[in-house]
Amino acid sequence: MFKRFIFFFLLPLLLFSSEIGRAFKEGKLKGHVGTLLNADFLGDGTYLDLSTSLAYETTNFYGYKFFASMWFNPKLYEMNRGFRDNKTWLEFPELGVNFYNTRLNFGFDAGRFEYQRDWINNYVQGLSFFHSPTPLIDYEITWINRSAWIDYYRVRMFEGAGNWIGGLWASANFKIPDTTLVLTPYAYSVANHFWSPALKASMDFYFPDVSGMLQARATLLFYTAYHDKQHDGDSLMYWSDLTWKDTRGRYEAGGGIMVSAIDGARDIDIFGQNTGFEDTTGLFDANMTTLYAFGKFNFKYDISLKTSMRTTISPEAKVIFGWETRTSYFPIKNLEVGLDLILIMGAEQFGNLGRDKGEMRTYLQFYF
């Protein structure tokens, strides 16, 4: 009798452990090796480095997936602080677990994981819950303890907001029946920095006769700053744009406007941002108005081009001009050759916004 009890007690554990073993055995490994040269024409940030990354993810078992990744970035050459201002040698951007229940449409991410929202980019350390109670409604709540910016041109360690509490993001999507309109209210707060509720609306218009789609997006954001438990000003931000997309994937182009009224929203990007601009000098400062345009083009022979331009204007009619462009080419499968150009002009006339920038990056990466 005792042996039977032991057998039936251990059987589920053995089956479960075998499922875990199979999930790890059948997991997928991917990564890259490459090199990058960053040439700084207006400063002293020139450097050359090597890079390699490895990422592993198990297959799904009972809704769970485990994942981990690392970036190793040895420096080959550096002029002054070019490399140190942009990269660290070794980072672990992912180390965590994902769970999703398809029956309940509920899941979570925990640990270090990739996470991108309007004001968060691109890896975070924390906990995120998401749920879709109906096909027309979904919501999520995410706690961000720290964030990291990991890419071929930037490898920055996980950094916090000066306190262990970090930030909290809560949002919901309401899809309006029989339309393409989606309303997204959200609240975003970072301890000892700001509290920011917002409403975002997006809508798609389809034009099948010309294989096109027009995407419209608008966000109204309220921003209350506070430091050392003291109120430090209120602001308002308006952000909207229109994007025309070719439904065959050949190109997309558009433009928009961003207005940071009153005291601005300087700390809104403390955990990153997804405005489409790598350099946001002046974008979130007080009483700044930004007009911008962007385009993405996919050509024959695996050549692609991404470009964006902006003009940020102050009440005194001072202007910051920004231009960013990225070109990518795959001469053979999995081998990418790229060239990036970044130009910022007019920042130095503000004094507190840093220096002008003129950088060129060229890189070579092989993916496996």
Q: Which parts of the chain are beta strand (E)?
A: 28-40, 47-57, 64-72, 75-78, 90-101, 106-114, 123-134, 137-150, 155-159, 167-175, 182-190, 194-207, 212-227, 230-246, 251-262, 288-299, 303-313, 319-332, 335-345, 357-367
- Kindly report, residue by residue over 215-225, the tens digit of the pLDDT: 999 999 999 99
Confidence (pLDDT) at 13? 45
What are φ and ψ of residue 145, in 5° steps?
Answer: -85, -45
SS3 109: strand
- Kindly report, residue by residue over 17-54, the tens digit of the pLDDT: 667 778 777 889 999 999 999 999 887 789 999 999 99
Length of the chain: 368
Which residue ranges make up each domain of the chain? Answer: 31-367
Distance CA 39, CA 359 (A): 6
Confidence (pLDDT) at 5? 43
Confidence (pLDDT) at 12? 52
Amino acid letter, 202: S
Nearest to 73 by CA among 48, 55, 56: 48
Distance CA 223, CA 234 (A): 6
Distance CA 108, CA 98 (A): 6
E strand or H helix that includes residue 246: strand 230-246
Distance CA 289, CA 259 (A): 5
Contacts of 309 (CB under 8 A, 6+ apart): 292, 293, 294, 321, 322, 323, 324
Joined tokens for residue 266: 């300087």
Q: What pTM does this model have?
A: 0.89
**Do 310 and 291 touch, CB atoms closer than 8 A?**
yes
In CATH, which superfamily holds the domain spanning 31-367? Porin (2.40.160.10)
Confidence (pLDDT) at 161? 82
Confidence (pLDDT) at 8? 45
Amino acid letter, 327: T
Q: Which residues of the chain have pLDDT under 50?
A: 2, 5, 7-11, 13-15
**Do 267 and 190 touch, CB atoms closer than 8 A?**
yes
